[in-house]
Structure 1
Amino acid sequence: MSDITEQLKNYTVLCVEDEDGIRKRLVNTLKYYFADVYEASNGEEGYELYYEYKPSIIISDIEMPKKNGIELISEIRKNDLNTIIIMLTAYSSEEYLLSLINLNINHYILKPVVSESLLNGIIKAFGDRLENKIKFTDDIYFNMKKRELYCKDEIIILRKRDKDFLLLLHENRNRVLTYSLIEEYIWKDKLMSMSALKTFIKELRQRLPIDLIINVPQEGYKLINS
């Protein structure tokens, strides 16, 4: 079964976000997955790019100048019910989220957006259009829908942090996953010591049927054969 990220390379995405720093981080992440990534800083510009390029998926903020995300999506949905749409929102009240669903969006992601929630949200939004597997070797794969790692269709018991780390390794498979990125995305708001990281890697390796992790001295880690 095809690697899910290879499947995403057949699609294009439009990212609409008015905050430059957030948009830059989103676009940099999306470039790992999609064939083409278009970006807009407001809803008006976003609609122009949508009309010109007809992207496969739109990821849009809500609060934006000129034309907000709700106005943008409402205009798109007048004639287009097929384009996949994900909304980014800082609000989590049930009433507010129901109003988003009424726009016929495919998924929403709560801010602040991290790489894991972004990829998971994209996969959920695509639904059955994608095969939900990330392949590490011929026998080892990660089922994104079930959030489980498998070896020859048998579940490998892992902790949540183990799974997050393997997905982050895969996301950065063409480069070294640095210590700073590991601290930011895996330890998050906690301080990471090198001894704690080494213990974590050692325990993860013990849980895996084969070693998937390469140590890059003084820098970080990579996936084997990446």
Structure 2
Amino acid sequence: MMHDNAISLLENRTILYAEDEAGIRENVVQILEIFFKKVYVANDGESALLLYEENFPDILMVDICMPNKDGLEVISHIRKKNSKIPIIVLSAHRDGAHLWRAVEQKISKYLTKPFNKTEIMEALSICALELVDGILHVKLNENVDYDISQKSLISNGDKMPLSSQESRLLEYFISCRGQILSFEAIEDRLWGYESPGKEAIKALVKALRKKTGKEVIKNHYGIGYYLA
């Protein structure tokens, strides 16, 4: 599904989640920790602003009704500094007034309580696509694009499907573009506790390079690889 494909791009991203109700907060944090590198958690508006200033997360998920500044105040303050950060608004209110105030802040998704895991994942997928300019194609170089939804490369109009491991590796590179990924980091992300060794990683990278072109994925001798 498109949502599954898009949400995989959040693996190296961070989110700030602000919610004053402890029970809801605990359940949602467990879901967010599945998809994000780091989840920053606040229980009121002031602590949310402080965490934002200290960590500059990639995505915001904010409840409207919170003590010490409500969620819309928090969003308004952050919007003055960052006009592009994807924002998910949570609310127990179904009335148009709250929704309209949220829409004015250019939010990505408005979720009405109670919501479920599927709804959260759909909202996160929307945010993930906004982080890659809201499109399903990621440009790798002048000649090659990656189609997130189809798990395939597009070169000169031709589609080249990727294997499951190839697409997972490429999406990991995309989420950390320009950052050197060590053999250990790649091994942990793709295989977890099952250690295939460096040779398996090299073979996978070699297979992917045959499709992307060598100039897309660069080698850092003895350490790992990075996406140019």
TM-score (norm 2): 0.55
1:6, 1:29 → 2: CA distance?
Answer: 14
Listed one character per residue, the Cα deviations across residues 158-205 of structure 1 (whole Å, up to 9, x for unaligned) are xxxxxxxxxxxxxxxx9xxxxxxxxxxxxxxxxxxxxxxxxxxxxxxx
| Alignment size in residue pairs | 139
Return the alpha-carbon distance in structure 1 between the equivalents of residues 54 and 21 of structure 2: 23
Structure 2 unaligned spans of 5+ = 137-147, 152-161, 165-191, 193-228
Q: Calculate the TM-score normalised by the size of structure 1.
A: 0.55
- The answer to whether residue 38 in structure 2 is matched with residue 36 in structure 1 is yes
Q: 1:133 deviation in Å?
A: 4.2
CA contact (8 A) 1:42 1:65 kept: yes
Q: Residues 95, 53 of structure 1: CA spacing in aligned structure 2 closer, same or farther, 3 A cutoff?
A: same
State the percentage of identical aligned residues: 33
In 2, Cα distance between equivalents of 1:134 and 1:26: 29
What amino acid does structure 2 have at the position aligned with 1:33? F
Question: How has the CA–CA distance of structure 1 residues 3 and 127 changed in structure 2, closer, same or farther, with 3 Å as cutoff?
Answer: closer
Match of 1:54 in 2: 56
CA contact (8 A) 2:7 2:128 kept: no
Runs of at least 5 residues in structure 1 that lack an aligned partner in the other structure: 140-173, 175-226
Q: Tell me which residue corresponds to 1:109.
A: 111
What are the superposed Cα offsets for residues 130-181 of structure 1, whole Å, 9 maximum, x if unpaired? 746498x959xxxxxxxxxxxxxxxxxxxxxxxxxxxxxxxxxx9xxxxxxx
State the secondary structure of the residue aligned to 2:17: strand
- For residues 51 and 122 of structure 1, the distance between their equivalents in structure 2, rounded to whole angstroms, comes to 22
What residue is the counterpart of 1:125 in the other structure?
127
Equivalent in the alignment of 1:26: 28
Question: RCO higher in 1 or 2 (8 Å CA, sep ≥ 6)?
Answer: 2
- The alignment partner of 1:92 has SS state of coil
- Equivalence map 1:78-93=2 (5 Å): 78-93=80-95
Amino acid at match of 1:49: L
Q: Secondary structure at the match of 2:120?
A: helix
Distance 2:96 2:28 in 1: 26
